[in-house]
Structure 1
Amino acid sequence: MSSSPHFKPSVSKLVLAHDYLIQMGGAERVVASMLRRQPNLPLYTSAVREDSLLPEFQGADLRVSWMQRLPRITTCFKRYFPLYPQAFRSFGVIEAEAAWVSASAFAKCMRFSPSTASVLYCHSPTRFLWECDTYLRSEIRSKLRRGVVRTMVPALRGLDRSATSKFDVVVANSQAVKRRIRNNYQVEAKVIHPPVDLQRFTARQQSVGDYHLVLSRLVGYKAIDRAVAAFSAMGKRLVIIGEGPDGPRLRAMAGPTVEFLGKVTDEEVNHWVASCRALVFPGEEDFGIAPVEVQAAGRPVIAFGKGGALETVVEGETGCFFHDPAPEALAEAVRRCESIEWQPARIIQNAQRFSEEEFHRQTLRLIAEVTADKAARRAERVGVSTSSMRRTAVGSYSSPHDLA
């Protein structure tokens, strides 16, 4: 792992970047999938929590900024938010044929040479800037601190919008995010759904248990409190796997039928997924990888009817929606779900649309096209045949093993 404010990398065919590797959620699994296909790609990031890294990041070529040396960076990383743009700029101008940047915050502030074909994979417009009131209420308890953050928002919005506009292509992970990118950045994005490890949880021939399941980080915007309130009121068993800053509040409001297991291994999660009545997905998510993973194991999903879930769950075939955020609406969806005789084969079939193979096919093709177009424009300026340049660039990214 390299850490230097003046790090000068050699020219690469493709480089990666991501906001930070501190909490391992859905966005980090997307980056891990890129490295699983080609472990030698350099990955630029602001800071790393080494004891929680996914296997793909362990031993990877991580280029880490000076923020790694800040006090309590792995536990208080959100408090340092004004520093992230400068941290990514401190890498200097990166020389590469192509760059793929994964961001929901400030990794998009990376700088690349004019000849670099740059692709931004946007998990979401930066939440605390563009959903300011909702995000700050759930993340910052102090009114004084919320007020201080709000004074910085206008300038950071301008920086965020400017950084986004500099990419050759912006990709959204869902139609819902595409709409928000258009509204916030005035950029028309393409859509490539994130890769889902369809083998993470396996379908098993075993009886269905007496519980519903939540798999989520416990943070305010995930709206886990809707599920806690609904199941506490119904007196039905709900098992919650995950940890986060909203945990104490959720435990305080939970009834005796709601269980919190915290962080568990994938093997343990697999056990809980295999026998659950359904996954409960109570918040509006940009995409939502957990619902697809659970469907790949043949189990249905009860989801709030907004955001990415509308693209991954089929009403009455692979799950049920509730459209009112009130706990009573979720309770009604639970009862409706329990009345349906689910067909695991159909549920598994739906999940296949979001395979890693499909993600990489679309992503590699897009990188190739952007690289070819960039090379052709350079060639036009010097009088070289553009058709031959496009053929060469597209061919060079025909396989993930050609990206190193």
Structure 2
Amino acid sequence: MPPAGETSSDAALEQLRRRFPRVAVVHDWLTIPGGSEQVVLQMLEMFPEAELFTSVYDPAPWPAQITERPVHASYLNRIPGAVRHYPKLLPLMNGAFRSFDLSGFDLILSSSHACAKNVRKPPGALHVCYCHTPMRYAWEEGFLEGEPIGRLTRMALPPLLGRLRRQDLAGAAGPDVFVANSRHVAERIARYYGRSAEVVHPPIDVDHFLGLERDPQDFYLVFGRVVPYKRVDLAVAACANLGRPLKVAGDGRAMDSVRAQAGPGVELLGKVSAAERDRLLSGARALLFPGEEDFGIVPVETQAAGTPVIAYGVGGASESVIDGSTGVLFPEQSAAGLAAAIERFEALALTPEQARENARRFGEERFRSELAAVIAHAADARAAAPAVG
């Protein structure tokens, strides 16, 4: 039994810290805070003495939990403008991560949607990769549709993407264990890498949103980055066809095309403050989520605020939204498919309590407990395996 005041989860974590005194947390890049970086912060919560390794590092936007520990940036960080133009350095990142010397570390935790998993594991170490997704732009034909890519760049893409796929597949042989952020991503890992993966949904600060008062108003909401694969255009078209007011909160490289499409019923808010985000999420009639996401944090935050979600039923949202109970899932990624889902939603009587209760299962403590269990199981399995040679 754990000591008084200590949970079994706390005791399990303390055992892991003693078992793995030196931990390396490896992340693709640390430039702009997002959902994948919340995973990194929780890994650091689990292992407070861990050191960080990344390709490009800008300390400005990060809390002390990151800045007040050793952060090892690769040689790419010395390139002028790297923190702004890091996506253009992707062809060089495999080499950057392979260059890290992780000798002396007992446990490697990689948080990867690109090349972080490709680090070289020292003998005797355990490598657990939390995979947000295999590189979608490398593996999924059509993922780059709608991106502002010039003609010459498009001509160079096939050989470049082929090289990235080969590097990605080679790197996927390195981790001892894969952990996926959704069943959807676990299926991609199996399809592209031929590896199985445990599923641990990402950590979400549901407690904050559970504390918001639900105040439904007469508008639908799109919230997040406005980039082509998010398919904000479908939300704009569906609401225009139905004559429903829509607010779009966020910015990104697809904003110009959305602005050109938007009619009088669409309000483009751009980036909003945290306080305004809370008002929007708790006040929307429903969140519209028409893109295919690896998991999707905003739908969970929205449900925690008591607000239903209308989402494309392919991808991670299908694992967080309960069709007919906390929102509506639609099967056809089109404006007509979304419009039909909105009309179906408007005929339902959903309650904030259903949405909030569903969101509770995605909290941060749950993430730490589940990931710790995966690490412990992997370590036990390796210890029990017969020696080779």
Q: 2 CA distance for matches of 1:265 and 1:59? A: 26
Whether the 8 Å contact between 2:248 and 2:268 is mirrored in structure 1 is: yes
State the number of aligned residues.
Answer: 370
Aligned to 2:4: none
1:103 is matched by which residue type in structure 2?
S
1:47/1:39 CA distance change after superposition, 3 Å:
same
- 1:149 matched to 2:154? The reply is no
Which residue does the alignment assign to 1:357?
365
Quick check: 1:267 aligned with 2:266? Answer: no
Is 2:182 the partner of 1:179?
A: no
Aligned to 1:287, which of 263, 273, 295? 295
Inter-CA distance 338–20: structure 2 relative to 1 (3 Å threshold): same
State the match for 1:59 in structure 2: 68
Aligned partners of 1:98 and 1:371 also within 8 Å: no
Is the CA contact (8 Å cut-off) linking 1:89 and 1:109 kept in structure 2? yes
CA distance in 1, matches of 2:255, 2:48: 35
Work out the CA distance in 1 between the residues paired with 2:85 and 2:191. Answer: 30
Q: Which residue of 2 aligns with 1:107?
A: 116
Partner of 2:133: 124
Q: Determine whether 1:228 maps to 2:236.
A: yes
**What is the aligned counterpart of 2:251 among 240, 243, 246?**
243
Post-superposition CA distance 1:226-253 (Å, at most 9, x none) = 1122223333221222222112221121
Question: Per-residue CA shift, 1:103-127, capped at 9, x if unaligned?
Answer: 0101111112121111011111111
Query: Match of 2:89?
Result: 80
- State the distance in 2 between where 1:232 and 1:186 align: 43
Distance between the aligned counterparts of 1:58 and 1:268, measured in 2?
A: 28
Q: Which moved more, 1:339-348 or 1:165-174?
A: 339-348
The reply to whether residue 44 of structure 1 matches residue 58 of structure 2 is no
Secondary structure in 1 aligned to 2:209?
coil
Partner of 2:5: none
Query: Which one is further off, 218-227 or 38-47?
Result: 38-47
1:280/1:301 contact within 8 Å kept: yes
**2: CA distance between counterparts of 1:324 and 1:44?**
41
Corresponding position: 1:31 with 2:40: yes
> How far did residue 264 of structure 1 move?
2.1
Q: Is the 8 A contact 2:121 2:174 kept in 1?
A: no
> Is 2:88 the counterpart of 1:70?
no
- CA–CA separation in structure 1 for the residues paired with 2:60 and 2:237: 34
TM-aligned CA deviation for residue 40 of structure 1: 3.5
The unaligned stretches of length 5 or more in structure 2 are 1-19
- Which of 106, 115, 118 is the aligned partner of 1:97? 106
2-side partners of 1:164 and 1:66: how far apart?
Answer: 23
Counterpart position of 2:7: none
Distance in 2, matches of 1:372 and 1:63, equals 29
Residue 348 of structure 1: which of 356, 363, 367 is its match? 356
Cα distance in 2, alignment partners of residues 177 and 158 from structure 1: 19
- Equivalent-residue separation in structure 2 for 1:88 and 1:229 (angstroms): 42
**AA aligned opposite 2:276:** E
Task: Say whether the 8 Å CA contact 1:303–1:322 is kept in structure 2.
Answer: yes
| 2:212–2:278 CA contact under 8 A, matched in 1 | no
Q: Report the Cα distance in structure 2 between the residues aligned to 1:280 and 1:142, rounded to whole angstroms.
A: 31
Q: How does 1:366-377 map to 2 (within 5 A)?
A: 366-377=374-385
Could you tell me which amino acid in structure 2 is paired with residue 118 of structure 1?
H
Task: Please identify, of 222-231 and 279-288, the stretch whose mean Cα deviation from structure 2 is larger.
Answer: 222-231
Matches of 1:282 and 1:49, distance apart in 2:
32
- C-alpha contact (below 8 Å) 2:181/2:294 kept by paired residues: yes
Instruction: Say if 1:203 and 1:274, in contact at 8 Å, map to a contact too.
Output: no
Uncovered stretches (5+) of structure 1, i.e. residues with no partner: 1-10, 383-404
8 Å Cα contact 1:121-1:170 kept in structure 2: yes
CA distance in 2, matches of 1:145, 1:299: 42
Match for residue 276 of structure 1 among 281, 284, 298: 284
SS in 2 for 1:325: coil
* Alignment partner, residue 266 of structure 2: 258
Cα RMSD over matched residues? Answer: 2.1
Give, in whole Å, the separation in 2 of the partners of 1:57 and 1:108: 20
Distance 1:55 1:281 in 2: 33
Decide whether the 8 Å contact of 1:274 with 1:299 is kept in 2: yes
Partner of 1:397: none
Alpha-carbon distance, 1:363 to partner? 0.7
Q: Deviations over 1:4-33 (max 9, x none)?
A: xxxxxxx95222111112232221122122
- CA shift for structure 1 position 89: 1.6
How far is 1:75 from its partner?
Answer: 2.7
Change (3 A) 1:332 1:241: same
Partner of 2:10: none
SS of the residue 1:236 aligns to: coil
Normalized against structure 2, the TM-score is what? 0.89
TM-score norm. by structure 1 comes to 0.86
